[in-house]
Amino acid sequence: MTEDDRRPGTEPPPRGPSTPPDLHFDPLATGVAVFAGVTIPVVVFGYTRPSGVNTTIIVIGVIIGVIAGVLAGIWVNRRNGEVWRGPQL
C-alpha cells in the first residue's frame, strides 16, 4: 500500500489544536436569556403603545417569557448543555 492509497481517518482527533472545542451551555443561563429575549420586546410594546400602557399585554408577555425560558432550560439540561453538535465532516 502506497501513501496515496491511504485514506485519512474519518474521525477528528479527540482533542488538539485542530479540533474546535465543544460548546456546553448552562441551562439556567439559557433559560434567563430566552426569558429576556421573549419578554423584553413584549413589555416594551405594552408600555409604549400610542393608546397608553396595557397591563394585559405586559402580563401575557411575562407569562409567555417564563414558559419559554423554562422550556429552553429544560431542553438544554436534557441535552447536557450540548446544543450544537457541530458540523459532521
CA distance 54 to 71: 26
Domain span at 38: 33-78
* 1 in any annotated domain: no
pLDDT digits (tens, 9 = 90+) for 3-26: 555 655 566 556 656 656 667 889
Q: What pLDDT is stored for residue 20 in this prediction?
A: 60
* 11 in any annotated domain: no
For residue 77, give the nearest of 18, 25, 5, 1 by alpha carbon: 25
* 45 in any annotated domain: yes
**pLDDT of 40 over the 60 cut:** yes
* Domains held by the chain: number: 1
* 39 in any annotated domain: yes
Confidence of residue 89 (pLDDT cuts 50, 70, 90): low
Query: What are the backbone dihedrals phi and psi of residue 46, each rounded to the nearest 5 degrees, phi first?
Result: -65, -35
* 46 in any annotated domain: yes
Residue 14, all three cell numbers = 479527540
* 13 in any annotated domain: no
* 37 in any annotated domain: yes
